[in-house]
């Protein structure tokens, strides 16, 4: 007997070899999709009737700082450097492990509610984020942020903690947790330090998560310091490879795009954060055209201000249409692929597609809504009209985390109340 069967669904497989099923059935056993088709002879303990809904791969958020949910709306409408140095970092200096746990739980709850099944995170007190992921049932690639800031000693301490974290949690939570090294950015970490981090990551077989060319200020600072941009500097020290997840990549030249393509670097595009901080417009259209793997991320809640990847999809589609003056840029299907297939590739998970043998990371979107009626094209609706709050059921690794809008894995009210309290106390400490 199978564990879960989903039936009577419009199945958006994202599998180019299979296409969609108008009235499909998915069988889940031992965390995996074992069958997908029109009908099944199997029976299961749990049968979900998904009539009137769309079943699709869970969304993948490839760049977050989960615990920053506590800073949602804390410092809006500022330049990145001012925002980070004068607002975010002083506030983060007051963070405790408990705060990070509560903020991460809130993030997990928000992601479960909005159809995100896996995410890549870079932050501090990462044991706490890992515990929140373990409890909430999500899948994640986690890294401790390494911010050397021209202080060798700080670099060493951060790297030591990063290594401890990588080793402590690699493959934890039944394989749902992967760990990475998280050197913050080429303008907050030195060349020597970045080379060292790469070497440690190689030894541990772990990936690397880094911010790259988010702002013009970074580009100018790098040119002044090294006589070349971040991408060339990172390439020259042998940093790049398919094990690298590079967030933002806004200020790229054509030559930089070619380097990213050649090295198989995974790019996380964060349109809402880039727009809110006015960092610029990443050349996503060009990257996709040249074959770079571009996925989607929200960034932290202080620069977004939520974790809703549906909103991110729509924003990506619209931003690149207006920036290229071409309504054919980033069509809905391509954006949906960025949020699923490309994200899964970036994190190296067997997810992002509904196909027999893949891990069962699945979401069910309720289409019986005024803003989703009528429905001529499911893909169009998911990108241009649906919201995270239309997700009714979220499944990760075959386990149902939210069933028909009811979150089963967390005490929702308690998570919200505790995060609210932690955030208030944190800001009181910052202002004291
Ligand atoms: C891991 C570190 O990254 C910081 N952080 C959060 N958002 C951004 C961003 N858009 N660019 C650079 N750093 C950021 C966090 O505030 C934390 O200090
Ligand atoms: Zn970030």
Consult the annotation and say whether 85 binds a ligand: no
- Indicate whether 300 and 191 sit together in one domain: yes
Q: pLDDT under 50 in the chain at which residues?
A: none
Q: Does residue 429 fall inside a structural domain? A: no
Q: What is the CATH number of the domain that holds 66?
A: 3.20.20.140
- Indicate whether 38 and 71 sit together in one domain: no
Consult the annotation and say whether 285 binds a ligand: no
Pocket-testing residue among 149, 211, 270, ligand 1, by greatest number of atoms within 8 A of Cβ: 211
- Indicate whether 326 and 403 sit together in one domain: no
How many whole angstroms from its chain centre is CA 212? 16
Query: Is residue 35 packed enough to be buried (19+ CB in 10 Å), middle (13-18) or exposed (0-12)?
Result: middle
Domain coverage including residue 226: 59-347
Q: Does residue 284 fall inside a structural domain? A: yes
299 lines ligand 1 (CB under 6 A): yes
- Indicate whether 193 and 258 sit together in one domain: yes
184 lines ligand 1 (CB under 6 A): yes
Whole-angstrom distance, CA of residue 182 vs CA of residue 65? 11
Query: Which ligand has the minimum distance to the alpha carbon of residue 299?
Result: 2
Q: Does residue 418 fall inside a structural domain? A: no
> DSSP alpha helices (H): ranges in 264-308?
271-276, 284-290
Q: Does residue 96 fall inside a structural domain? A: yes
**394 Cα to the center of ligand 1, angstroms:** 28
- 411: DSSP letter: -
304 lines ligand 1 (CB under 6 A): no
Query: Which ligand has the minimum distance to the alpha carbon of residue 64?
Result: 2
Q: What is the CATH number of the domain that holds 13?
A: 2.30.40.10
Among protein residues, the one with the nearest Cα to ligand 1's atom 17 is 123
148 lines ligand 1 (CB under 6 A): no
* 261 within 8 A of 292, measured Cβ to Cβ: yes
- Indicate whether 286 and 402 sit together in one domain: no
Whole-angstrom distance, CA of residue 312 vs CA of residue 336? 10
- Indicate whether 53 and 126 sit together in one domain: no
303 lines ligand 1 (CB under 6 A): yes
Give the nearest ligand 1 atom to 277 CA.
10
* 336 within 8 A of 57, measured Cβ to Cβ: no
pLDDT digits (tens, 9 = 90+) for 23-58: 999 999 999 999 999 999 999 999 999 999 999 999
**267 Cα to the center of ligand 2, angstroms:** 12
Is the CA virtual torsion 194, 195, 201, 205 positive or negative? positive
How many whole angstroms from its chain centre is CA 394? 16
Whole-angstrom distance, CA of residue 262 vs CA of residue 242? 10
Task: Decide which of 347, 364, 382 is a domain's last residue.
Answer: 347
Q: Does residue 424 fall inside a structural domain? A: no
Query: Which ligand has the minimum distance to the alpha carbon of residue 61?
Result: 2
pLDDT, residue 382, reads 98
* ipTM of model: 0.97
Q: Does residue 138 fall inside a structural domain? A: yes
- Indicate whether 259 and 377 sit together in one domain: no
pLDDT, residue 296, reads 99
* 285 within 8 A of 316, measured Cβ to Cβ: no
Q: Does residue 416 fall inside a structural domain? A: no
- Indicate whether 171 and 298 sit together in one domain: yes
pLDDT digits (tens, 9 = 90+) for 348-366: 999 999 999 999 999 999 9
pLDDT, residue 54, reads 98
- Indicate whether 44 and 182 sit together in one domain: no
pLDDT, residue 175, reads 98
Task: Decide which of 299, 332, 347 is a domain's last residue.
Answer: 347
Task: Decide which of 347, 380, 399 is a domain's last residue.
Answer: 347
158 lines ligand 1 (CB under 6 A): no
Whole-angstrom distance, CA of residue 104 vs CA of residue 77? 24
Consult the annotation and say whether 216 binds a ligand: no
Question: Which residue in 348, 359, 11 sits closest to 180, CA to CA?
Answer: 348
How would you write 338-390 as a 3-class SS string?
HHHHHHHHHHCCCCCCCCCCCECCEEEEECCCHHHCCCCCHHHHHHHCCCHHH
Q: Does residue 421 fall inside a structural domain? A: no
**330 Cα to the center of ligand 2, angstroms:** 23
Question: Which token pair is 15?
Answer: 């599998």
pLDDT digits (tens, 9 = 90+) for 272-288: 999 999 999 999 999 99
Among protein residues, the one with the nearest Cα to ligand 1's atom 16 is 88
186 lines ligand 1 (CB under 6 A): no
- Indicate whether 23 and 109 sit together in one domain: no
65 lines ligand 1 (CB under 6 A): yes
Give the nearest ligand 1 atom to 84 CA.
16
pLDDT, residue 261, reads 98
- Indicate whether 112 and 130 sit together in one domain: yes
pLDDT, residue 269, reads 99
Structural domain total, the chain: 2
188 lines ligand 1 (CB under 6 A): no
Residue listed under structure tokens 């951060």: 158
pLDDT, residue 369, reads 98
Strands 2-11 and 21-29, how do they pair?
antiparallel
**Torsion angles phi and psi, residue 62, rounded to 5:** -90, 5
- Indicate whether 28 and 113 sit together in one domain: no
**36 Cα to the center of ligand 1, angstroms:** 40
**145 Cα to the center of ligand 1, angstroms:** 9
Question: Which token pair is 377?
Answer: 């094209």
């Amino acid at each position: 007997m199978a564990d879960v069967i989903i039936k009577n669904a419009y199945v958006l497989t994202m599998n180019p070899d299979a296409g969609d099923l108008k009235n499909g059935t998915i069988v889940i056993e031992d965390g995996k999709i074992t069958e997908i088709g029109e009908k099944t002879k199997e029976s299961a303990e749990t049968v979900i009737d998904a009539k009137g809904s769309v079943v699709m791969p869970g969304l993948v958020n490839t760049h977050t700082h989960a615990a920053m949910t506590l800073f949602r709306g804390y410092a809006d409408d500022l330049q990145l450097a001012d925002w980070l140095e004068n607002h975010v970092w002083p506030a983060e200096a007051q963070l405790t492990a408990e705060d990070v746990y509560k903020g991460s739980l809130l993030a997990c709850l928000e992601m479960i509610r909005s159809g995100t099944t896996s995410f890549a995170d870079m932050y501090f007190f990462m044991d706490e984020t890992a515990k929140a992921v373990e409890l909430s049932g999500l899948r994640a690639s986690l890294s401790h942020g390494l911010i050397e800031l021209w202080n060798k000693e700080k670099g060493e301490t951060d790297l030591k903690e990063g290594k401890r974290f990588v080793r402590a949690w690699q493959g934890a939570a039944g394989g749902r947790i992967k760990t990475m090294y998280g050197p913050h950015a080429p303008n907050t970490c030195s060349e020597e330090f970045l080379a060292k981090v790469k070497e440690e990551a190689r030894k541990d077989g772990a990936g690397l998560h880094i911010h790259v060319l988010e702002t013009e200020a970074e580009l100018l600072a790098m040119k002044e310091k090294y006589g070349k941009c971040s991408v060339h500097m990172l390439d020259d020290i042998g940093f790049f490879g398919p094990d690298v997840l590079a967030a933002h990549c806004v200020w790229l030249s054509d030559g930089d795009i070619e380097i990213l393509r050649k090295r198989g670097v995974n790019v996380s595009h964060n349109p809402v954060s880039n727009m809110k901080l006015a960092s610029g417009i990443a050349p996503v259209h060009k990257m996709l055209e040249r074959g770079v793997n571009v996925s989607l991320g929200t960034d932290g809640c202080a620069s977004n201000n939520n974790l809703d990847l549906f909103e991110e999809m729509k924003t990506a589609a619209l931003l690149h249409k207006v920036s290229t003056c071409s309504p054919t840029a980033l069509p809905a299907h391509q954006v949906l692929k960025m949020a699923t297939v490309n994200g899964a590739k970036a994190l190296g998970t067997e997810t992002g597609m509904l196909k027999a043998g893949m891990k069962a990371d699945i979401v069910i979107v309720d289409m019986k809504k005024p803003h989703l009626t009528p429905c001529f094209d499911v893909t169009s609706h998911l990108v241009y009209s649906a919201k995270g709050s239309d997700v009714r059921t979220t499944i990760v690794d075959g386990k149902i985390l939210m069933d028909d809008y009811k979150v089963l894995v967390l005490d929702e009210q308690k998570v919200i109340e505790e995060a609210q309290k932690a955030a208030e106390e944190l800001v009181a400490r910052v202002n004291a």
